[in-house]
Structure 1
Amino acid sequence: MKRVSVDIGGTFTDCFVIWGDRYVQSKALTTKHNLALGFNEALDFACREVGTTREDMLAEVDSVRYATTLGTNALIERRGPRIGLLTTAGFKSTVPLSRGRGYGEGLSITVQQDIPNAERPHPLVPIEMIRTVRERVDYKGEVLIALDEDDLRRQIRDLIDAGAEALVVVLANSVSNPAHELRVQEIFVEDYPEHMLGAVPLLLSHQVAGRKGEYVRSMSTIMDAFLHKAMYFGLSSLERNLRASGYAKPMLVVHNSGGMAQLNSTDALQTVHSGPVSGIAAAEHLAKRAGLGNVVATDMGGTSYDIGLVVDGGVKFYDFQPTIERWLVSVPMVHLATLGSGGGSIAQHNRMYDTVQCGPKSAGSDPGPACYDRGGMNPTVTDADLLLGYLDPDNYANGYIKLNPRRARQAIEDELCDPLDLDLIAAAKLIKRTVDLDMANGVATELRTFGYEPSEFTLLTYGGNGPLHACGIARGLGIGRILAPPFASVFSACGAGNLSQLHIHEMSTFTVLFDANRKQLFTDFDKLNRMVEELERRGREDLLRQGMPAEAIRYRTELDMRYGNQRVQTTVVTDLHRLASLADVVKLIDQFHRSYGERFGEGSQAAEAGVRINTIRVCSYVELDAVDFRDIHPGARRVPAPAPVATRPCHFVDHDAAIETAIYDAAALEHGVVIDGPAVITTSHTTYLVEPGWRYEAAAQGAVWFTRIDA
């Protein structure tokens, strides 16, 4: 197996190469003005280690896979086309009103409660770019008012004259009957062929989001249109770069659903958060292979701290109406919590509480932390780590970046020491303590929201800064066991190399499995089976179009179910791809009953209210070869620890004085090495910090376990 996987983050571009039985990891700074430059640099590092050229490597690999934050950055920077919206008459205010909650979505609870200062996000579609057309379809898909085509042509002309660079069509109940949306598309192509307008994209909401809910379906389609241009040019430039280097196969793009597809089968919205989702996919694969049980996957990079759950038993956590940036959308996405805490997070004086606040602003890769000596003036977490003695200024990122302690010292003194009346080391310790506790609180909140206790989980820590802060985060959580996985610094890129080609299609329905009023069970099996068959057909066509063999395609059927008119839905993954009898219906209800009880407590079920299905979802996928993670438990093997390459004074938050700390190199990663903290292990890709009271144990493939021994 030969494969290249890339995770383009806000600060670093991570590259993971599978070259036969060799696994190679490399990094380069992300070049936001041209992502291909950072990719080429990272890939060239890997090529040198393998002993080949970029052209020769790309000629032999079976695939190149990208996970990127390009879409996320476009939303933050509001880089997108002027969008025009066509919607059903009477629904013009659906998007501007945003269910009355648009001021708070995507913000913390504390900010949401500050209603007097609430501000809605700047709209992606201004109200003057919204037009309505006369038509109406009811919830069952029956046409009540035919589409007024003359009126439609006038509205399209108005939007084009107003400067629309992309058009979005969101008609009421089009997921039940898309005929009117499809007719809008036909009329647009008739009146404005490509040779007249160039290539103004027109997006139909029923093709982007298959579930009911006018607002979330509208925002999903609007966001897809807004990201279309940035994603098209960004990813196309990456594909052209591959072609220029001799790669002839289709480029694969990671989706936030936990799968991937070719570029021509990828919607822009599907790529948002694809990098962190790759890390969660790798964590799931590793946990299953090594029998780790419950795992909380945490990725601390240069810009953010991403949290995902991997629960024993294979339960997947999806957000079916996730908030992306400041908007609620309707697209299945692997559940992910993101904090603005990373190595590049800027530390600033919080005047209200007279303390340090870390993030959410980040120095990124340009100019980067002050110690990068590239013009950054703000103190960051990395600056504090350097002054506390954890980082080697001459051997950071394999010597690729030389750190300047004087710049770090100056930034912290200017911004924090004087306002807080602290000396330099005390201010650096406060930064370290603050960012560790912020991340620990984020993990604890995430776990307890789903009804779990942190002590039930192993903390999986990865990303360039994960192993450096893991002990401090785990101490704040009360967790005594940490795993830094193999290839920790590029673990998300490694995860991109493990993914299956996958497509998710879903359809809203109103299927009552048990009618509480009539005391009857569902019997229209053909109706439900036809919907599942249709979703399977869409997924199968997607995969066949990408050259996947028909016999390799597999399906997973998921049902969003609820009791009566309850707002709470539970997703049931069922092996009943078709219903053939009342016994199948009872089996499905029983599975939902047990799943609901496990999540909300036995006895909370309410079958007397009736049971119904609101959404049918089919995941169509082809499983591909994955990284072979060997047993990464420490086991009984013990080898003598290598001699330290140096010692230097390090400062720890729970100790007043500096402690002379042993410094090790990559030789400490040999399977069986055990080291009691304090210690620092500096490798070419990341730094492992073993705080006092913790033990370091190296396992197979470069995995590292941290165990608390002072509890």
Structure 2
Amino acid sequence: MKRISVDIGGTFSDCFFVWDDIYVESKALTTHHNLALGFNEALDLACDRAGVSRQQALKEVDSVRYATTLGTNALIEGVGPRVGVLVTHGFEDTIHLSRGRGYGEGLDPLKQGDMADAQRPEPLVPRHLVRSVKERIDSIGTVLVPLMYEDVRQQVRELVDNGAEAIVVALTNATENADHEERILEIILEEYPAHELGAIPVLLSSQVSGRKGEYIRAMSTVVDAFLHQTMFHALNQLSSNLRESGYDKPMLVIHNSGGMAQPNSTDALQTIHSGPIAGVGGAQHLSETTGLGNVVSMDMGGTSFDIGLVPEGGIKHYDFQPTIGRWMVSAPMIHLNTLGAGGGSIASYDRIHGAIKIGPESAGSDPGPACYDRGGLRPTVTDADLVLGYLDPENYANGYIPLNKKRAAYAIEEAFSDELDLEAIQVAKIIKRTVDEEMAIGIEKELRTRGGLVEDYTMLAYGGNGPLHACGIASRAGISKILFPPFASVFSALGAGNMKPLHIHERSAYIVLYDALERSLYNDYDAINNYIEELEQKGAEDLVRQGYDRDSVKYRLEMDMRYGNQLVTTAVAFDINRVKGTGAVLHLIKTFSDIFGDRYGEGTQAPEAGVRVQTVRVASYIDGDVVQFESLDSSGTRRIEPVAVAERTIHFTDEEDPVNTPIYDTMSLKSHYVINGPALVTTESTTYLVEPGWRLEPTPQGAVWLLKDPTNTTDVTTKLQFQGA
């Protein structure tokens, strides 16, 4: 297997390079003005370590996979074209009313409750760019009012004359009958042939989302159109860069549904959060292949902190109606909770609460934290880590980025001297403690709202800054086991390398598998099987269009299910693809019951309220080669303590005085060693902070365990004394 996977984040571009049996990781600063430059730098470094040229690598690899946060950043910054929308007559205000809840979507609960200061986000679609057409289809797809073609032509002309640079068609009940939307597309192309319409994309809501709900379906298509231009040019730029270097295959783009596809089969909406979700995919694969059990993944990079859950068995949590930025959309997206707290997150003083606040604003990669010495003036989490002694100024990022400790201390003092009568080190402690507590609260909240117990989960920590903060986060969250997977600093890129070509299609459906009032089971098997066949056909067409053999396509049936009128809806994956008879219906109900009981506790099931299906979903995919993880079990290993290579004074948040702490290098991460905290282990890609009361145990496979050890006792057969380097 020969493969290149790149995750372009807000601060670093991470590369995971597979060249037969050689696995290589590398990093470069993200170049926001031209992503291809950072991409090339990271790839060149990886190729150099593998002993091949970039041209040879791109000529022989089977694929190049690309995950990015570019779409997320464009939405936050509000950078996009003017979008015009065609809706059904009478629904002109649907988007701007936003169900009466638009002021609070995308905000934390505290701000949602601040009604006096409620403000709606700046709309992506100006009101004057919304036009209505005379037509109507009812909730079961019957045409009530035929489409009036001349009316459509007039409304389209007005949108174009008013400067629309993208056109969205979002008609009522188009999920049940898309004929009118498809006919409008034909009319637009008749009125404005491709050579006249130019680069104005036309998007149909029925093709973007198969779920009912006029507002969220329209908003999903609007967001897709708003990001279309940015993603189109960025992906073309990257594709051109690859072709110039000799790569002649289509580039593959990671989707937030947990799969990937070629750019011509990718909607811009599907790229939102694709990098962090690739990490969740890697966590799922690791859990399934090693028997790790319940996992809460923690990806702390330079810009954000991403939390994902993978319960035992690998069933992922989906967001049914995720909020992207400030807008609710309808898309099958793997659930991810993102906090604005990464290494580059800026620390500031909140005068209202009299406390230090972390993020969400980030210093990014340009100019970066103050300690980068590239013009950054505001203190960040990385600056605090440097002042506390956790980072080696000469060997940060393998010496790629020299750090200026004096600049970091000066930035902290300048930012907080007017509000806090404390030295830089004391303020840095507060910053470290605050960011750890915020992340711990995020993990606890995520587990509790998803029906998990903290003590049942292992924290899987990765990302460049994860090893520095894992102990502090886990201690505050009540987690006693932390695992750093192999290639932890580029684990999201590794996860991208394991993704499958996959498309998910879904449609709303009202199916009562068990009617509590009638005490009867569902028996309209043809209806539900027709839904499944329709969705399988769409998935197969997507994959065949990209050059895959139809006979190689596999399908996974999923349904969103709930008990009666409960608000809790659970995504359930099944091992059957057709419903044939009473036995199959009972199998669907039992599978739902088992998953619900595992997630929320046995006995919480309520079949007496009835069992309903809200959505039918089919994942169509192609199996392929993946990076294999070996067993992580190292029990019974006789361990010794390695020889420290140096010693440094370090400040821990829970210790009043500084602590002389042994420093270890990469050689100490061999499987026969154990390191008791306090300690630091520096590698070329990250730094492991082993806080007091914890111990570090490497595994033969390259993973590293951090285990809570209140008594600080281990089964150590030999203890070697510190020797200065």
TM-score range, shorter chain: over 0.9
Q: Which secondary structure state, in structure 1, belongs to the residue aligned with residue 419 of structure 2?
A: helix
Aligned partners of 1:592 and 1:272: how far apart in 2?
29
Q: Counterparts of 2:495 and 2:135 in 1: how far apart (Å)? A: 46
Go from structure 1 to structure 2 and tell me whether the alpha carbon gap of 1:630 and 1:209 turns closer, same or farther (over 3 Å shift). Answer: same
Matches within 5 A, 1:559-598: 559-598=559-598
The one-character-per-residue Cα deviations of 1:541-578 (angstroms, maximum 9, x if unpaired) are 11122222333221110122334454443333223322
Give me the whole-angstrom Cα distance separating, in 1, the residues matched to 2:521 and 2:452: 35
Match of 1:191 in 2: 191
Given that 1:561 and 1:570 are in contact with CA atoms closer than 8 Å, whether structure 2 keeps it comes out as yes
Q: Which residue in the other structure is 2:53 paired with?
A: 53
Question: Deviation at 1:598?
Answer: 4.6
1:253 matched to 2:244: no
Rounded to whole Å, the distance in 1 between the matches of 2:384 and 2:565 is 53
Is the counterpart of residue 395 in structure 1 residue 395 in structure 2? yes
Q: Which residue matches 1:362?
A: 362
Deviation per residue, 1:435-472 (Å, 9 max, x gap): 11111111111111112221111111100000011111
- Aligned residue type for 1:503: H
Q: Distance in 2 between matches of 1:215 and 1:66?
A: 31
Is the contact between residue 634 and residue 672 of structure 1 (CA under 8 Å) also seen in structure 2? no
Match in the other structure for 1:485: 485
Residues 121-142 of structure 1: per-residue CA shift (max 9 Å, x gap): 1100111110111100001100
Q: Could you tell me which amino acid in structure 2 is paired with residue 290 of structure 1?
A: T
**CA-to-partner distance for each residue in 1:245-280, whole Å, 9 max, x for gaps?**
100011000000011111111110000000000001
SS of residue matched to 1:174: coil
Paired residue secondary structure (1:33): coil
Superposition map of 1:606-617 within 5 A:
606-617=606-617
Deviations 1:299-334 (A, max 9, x none): 000000000011112322111211111111100111
2:434 equivalent in structure 1: 434
Contact 1:696–1:706 (CA under 8 A) maintained in structure 2: yes
Q: Distance in 1 between matches of 2:366 and 2:407?
A: 15
Give the secondary structure class of the aligned counterpart of 2:402: coil
- Corresponding residue of 1:105: 105
Give secondary structure in 1 for the equivalent of 2:486: coil
Alignment of 1:122-141 (within 5 A): 122-141=122-141
Once residues 298 and 622 of structure 1 are traced to their aligned partners in structure 2, the CA distance between those partners, rounded to angstroms, is 28
Identity %: 60
Shift of 1:16: 0.3
SS at match of 2:14: strand
- The Cα offsets for residues 625-659 of structure 1, whole Å up to 9 and x where unpaired, read as 11121223333334544422211111111111111
Gap change, CA 1:514 and 1:629, over 3 Å in 2? closer
2:465 corresponds to 1:465? yes
Deviations 1:148-177 (A, max 9, x none): 111111110110000000000000111101
The alignment of Structure 1 onto Structure 2 pairs a total of residues equal to 711
Deviations 1:570-620 (A, max 9, x none): 333223322222332233234334444554555555545544322110000
**Gapped regions of structure 2 (runs ≥ 5):** 712-725
Give the residue type in structure 2 aligned to 1:118: A
The 5 Å alignment of 1:204-283 reads 204-283=204-283
1:62-102, CA deviations, whole angstroms, 9 ceiling, x for partnerless residues? Answer: 10000000100100111111000000011111110111111
Deviates more, 1:214-223 or 1:287-296: 287-296
| 2:386 pairs with 1:386 | yes
Alignment pair present for 1:618 and 2:618: yes
- Aligned letter for 1:305? F
TM-score where L is the length of structure 2: 0.96
Partner of 2:538: 538
Secondary structure (helix, strand or coil) at the match of 2:309 reads strand
Q: Report what 2:318 is aligned to.
A: 318
Residue in 2 that maps onto 1:349 = 349
Range with bigger deviation, 689-698 or 103-112: 689-698
Deviations 1:13-57 (A, max 9, x none): 000001111110000000000000000000111111111211111
CA distance in 1, matches of 2:53, 2:29: 20
Between stretches 504-513 and 567-576, larger displacement belongs to 567-576
* Letter of the 1:169 counterpart: V
| Alpha-carbon distance in 2 for matches of 1:563, 1:639 | 51
Deviation, structure 1 residue 59 = 0.8
Structure 2 counterparts to residues 539-688 of structure 1, below 5 A = 539-600=539-600, 605-638=605-638, 640-688=640-688
Specify the alignment match of 1:300 in structure 2: 300
1:15 aligns with 2:20: no
Consecutive unaligned residues in structure 1, runs of 5 or more = none
Note if contact 2:6-2:66 (Cα within 8 Å) is conserved in structure 1.
Answer: yes
Shift of 1:221: 0.4
Structure 2 contact 642–675 (Cα < 8 Å) conserved: no
> What does residue 158 of structure 2 align with?
158
| Gap change, CA 1:174 and 1:59, over 3 Å in 2 | same
Q: d(CA) in 1 for partners of 2:453 and 2:585?
A: 35
TM superposition shift of 1:188: 0.3
For 1:103, give the aligned amino acid: Y
Distance in 1, Cα, partners of 2:677 & 2:222: 52
Find the residue that maps to 1:7 and give its secondary structure: strand
- Within a 5 Å distance, the mapping from 1:20-35 to structure 2 comes to 20-35=20-35
Task: Measure how far apart 1:7 and its partner are.
Answer: 0.3
Q: Structure 1 CA distance, aligned partners of 2:322 and 2:512?
A: 26
Q: Structure 2 vs 1, CA of residues 195 and 136 (structure 1 numbering), >3 Å: closer, same or farther?
A: same
Deviation at 1:196, TM superposition (A): 1.1
Aligned counterparts of 2:34 and 2:174: Cα–Cα separation in 1:
39
1:351-389 alpha-carbon deviations (Å, 9 max, x no partner):
123221111111110100000000000011111111111
Instruction: Tell me, yes or no, if the aligned pair for 1:252 and 1:260 is still in contact at 8 Å.
Output: yes
Q: Which amino acid aligns with 2:616?
A: I
Q: Give the counterpart letter for 1:396 in structure 2.
A: Y
User: CA offsets per residue over residues 682-709 of structure 1, 9 Å max, x none?
Assistant: 1110011111111111112321111121
CA RMSD for the aligned pairs? 1.5
More divergent stretch after superposition (631-640 vs 449-458): 631-640
Equivalent pair of 2:318/2:571 in contact (CA under 8 Å): no
Q: Segments of 4+ in structure 1 off by > 6 A?
A: none
Letter in 2 for 1:663: I
SS of 1:652's equivalent? coil
Q: Report the TM-score when normalising by structure 1.
A: 0.98
Q: Secondary structure at the match of 1:701?
A: coil
SS of the equivalent of 1:702 reads coil
Distance 1:295 1:571 in 2: 18
Shift of 1:289: 1.7
Residues of 2 paired with 1:287 and 1:608: CA distance? 34
- Taking structure 1 as reference, are residues 17 and 515 closer, same or farther at Cα in structure 2, changes over 3 Å only? same
Deviates more, 1:311-320 or 1:578-587: 578-587
